[in-house]
Amino acid sequence: MKNTPVGRFAPTPSGRMHLGNVFAALVAWLSVRSRNGHFVLRMEDLDTQRTSAEFAEILRQDLLWLGLNWDEETPAQSARTDVYDRYFSLLEEKGLLYPCYCTRSQLHSINAPHASDGTYVYPGTCRHLTNAQKEAFGRNPSWRVCVPDRDYEITDLCQGIYKENLLHDCGDFVVRRADGVYVYQLAVTVDDGEAGVTEVVRGQDLLSSAPRQMYLQELFGFSHPEYGHVPMLLAPDGRRLSKRDKDLDLGYLRQNMTPESLIGTLAFSAGLIDKEIPISARELASQFTWKKLRGDAITMTGTLFSAK
Ligand SMILES: [Zn+2]
């Protein structure tokens, strides 16, 4: 297993896969399969209100329909609270956690700089509360981890260099919510680390969370994986595709296309093949390199749109 690339796809089972999810899954799979690596599937179902075992099963069937098989499915996040508890305690032992009592509206009114993704930079409001102040709130706090004044730099397989200073561009961030639910940043770091994931391929919208995860990886004793944040998909008219485009989820697409024609259209739009022809995931893997993949937004060809 040494030096074997380990990749993963970690969908949220809250509905049918959308075209953007399919693209992220495809590239994650191609990157691993083109080098005889190991592919891990994991259900990110921290939000138990929105996710279900039924959707998880549909997701598996959709992946198999696409030809994107996996070697291992690791336990879903909803079953791993006790594991996350251990890593939470580790942060506590290091003296890096503190309770935050800020309400949502207080956080919104923080007159602090905003990060590139539009979220506010937490100014450390609750870092030095006294015990008396904490008790006076009389409610459960969320828990934040103190971040260092340090730059984290990624050489992303798709986006090139991305740099962020955790203190100035992000601030101390929440690892456990007031209702006891662990946040994505902690869960994903633990899950990828324990599964020995060596490359994290996912949508570009998650690029700005990579530095937070790199910081947690160091605290938890995991090595940094490589990152590949694949670009957003645009409609032929330049509009950003979203989950609201119901006719581009797999429920619809499976009725109107073969897996090969869908993968061919995605691969051609992304620059992975020169002609828009039907192709299987396996055939595509034999010719995949990251160099071919464009880092900027990908405008889809009209095929999916004229098929309606
Ligand atoms: Zn606070």
Whole-number Å distance, alpha carbon 170 to ligand 1 midpoint, is 14
Whole-number Å distance, alpha carbon 147 to ligand 1 midpoint, is 14
pTM above 0.85, yes or no: yes
307 has a pLDDT exceeding 60: no
Average pLDDT on 174-192 reads 96
Question: Rounded to whole angstroms, how far apart are CA atoms 285 and 288?
Answer: 5
What integer pLDDT is reported at residue 127 of this predicted model? 94
Average pLDDT on 232-250 reads 84
Question: Rounded to whole angstroms, how far apart are CA atoms 258 and 66?
Answer: 9
Question: Rounded to whole angstroms, how far apart are CA atoms 87 and 33?
Answer: 31
Query: What tokens does 224 get?
Result: 């940094």
The more confidently predicted of residues 114 and 74 is 74
Q: Are strands 199-203 and 226-230 parallel, antiparallel or unpaired?
A: parallel
Whole-number Å distance, alpha carbon 218 to ligand 1 midpoint, is 24
List, for residues 13-61, the tens digit of each pLDDT value: 999 999 999 999 999 999 999 999 999 999 999 998 999 999 999 999 9
Question: Rounded to whole angstroms, how far apart are CA atoms 45 and 65?
Answer: 22
- Residue 282, sorted as left (phi over 0), alpha (psi -120 to 50) or beta, turns out to be alpha
Type of residue at 66? L
Q: How confident is the model at residue 293 (pLDDT cuts 50, 70, 90)?
A: very high
| DSSP reduced 3-state for 176 | strand
Q: How confident is the model at residue 118 (pLDDT cuts 50, 70, 90)?
A: low
Question: Could you tell me what percent of the chain has a pLDDT over 70?
Answer: 95
Question: Rounded to whole angstroms, how far apart are CA atoms 8 and 47?
Answer: 20
Whole-number Å distance, alpha carbon 124 to ligand 1 midpoint, is 7
Whole-number Å distance, alpha carbon 112 to ligand 1 midpoint, is 13
Instruction: Identify the bridge partners of residue 98 per DSSP, sorted by sequence position.
Output: 144
What integer pLDDT is reported at residue 222 of this predicted model? 98
Structure-token match 């998880």, residue found: 56
Mean pLDDT of the chain: 93
What integer pLDDT is reported at residue 144 of this predicted model? 98
What integer pLDDT is reported at residue 114 of this predicted model? 62
Average pLDDT on 247-268 reads 93
What integer pLDDT is reported at residue 242 of this predicted model? 76
Q: Are strands 298-299 and 233-234 parallel, antiparallel or unpaired?
A: parallel
Whole-number Å distance, alpha carbon 143 to ligand 1 midpoint, is 9
Calculate the alpha carbon distances from 52 to 5, 8, 32, 80, 305 in Å. 30, 20, 28, 16, 30
Whole-number Å distance, alpha carbon 65 to ligand 1 midpoint, is 46
Alpha helices in the chain, H assignment, sequence order:
19-33, 53-66, 81-93, 104-108, 131-137, 166-169, 184-194, 210-220, 250-256, 259-269, 281-285, 303-306
Whole-number Å distance, alpha carbon 108 to ligand 1 midpoint, is 11
Question: Rounded to whole angstroms, how far apart are CA atoms 55 and 22?
Answer: 15
211 has a pLDDT exceeding 60: yes
What integer pLDDT is reported at residue 237 of this predicted model? 87
Q: Provide the residue count of the chain.
A: 308
Q: Computed from CA positions of residues 253, 259, 262, 266, in that sequence, does the dihedral angle turn out positive or negative?
A: positive
Count of CB atoms within 10 A of residue 61's CB? 12
Residues 6+ away with beta carbon under 8 Å from 102: 125, 126
Whole-number Å distance, alpha carbon 134 to ligand 1 midpoint, is 11
Whole-number Å distance, alpha carbon 191 to ligand 1 midpoint, is 27
List, for residues 124-139, the tens digit of each pLDDT value: 999 999 999 999 999 9
The more confidently predicted of residues 221 and 115 is 221
For 99-148, what is the HEC assignment? EECCCHHHHHCCCCCECCCCCECECCCCCCCCHHHHHHHCCCCEEEECCC
Whole-number Å distance, alpha carbon 69 to ligand 1 midpoint, is 43
Whole-number Å distance, alpha carbon 187 to ligand 1 midpoint, is 21
Whole-number Å distance, alpha carbon 167 to ligand 1 midpoint, is 15
166 has a pLDDT exceeding 80: yes
Calculate the alpha carbon distances from 235 to 75, 185, 272, 295 in Å. 35, 30, 18, 17
Contact indicator for 250, 22 with CB cutoff of 8 Å: yes
Whole-number Å distance, alpha carbon 193 to ligand 1 midpoint, is 29
Whole-number Å distance, alpha carbon 113 to ligand 1 midpoint, is 16
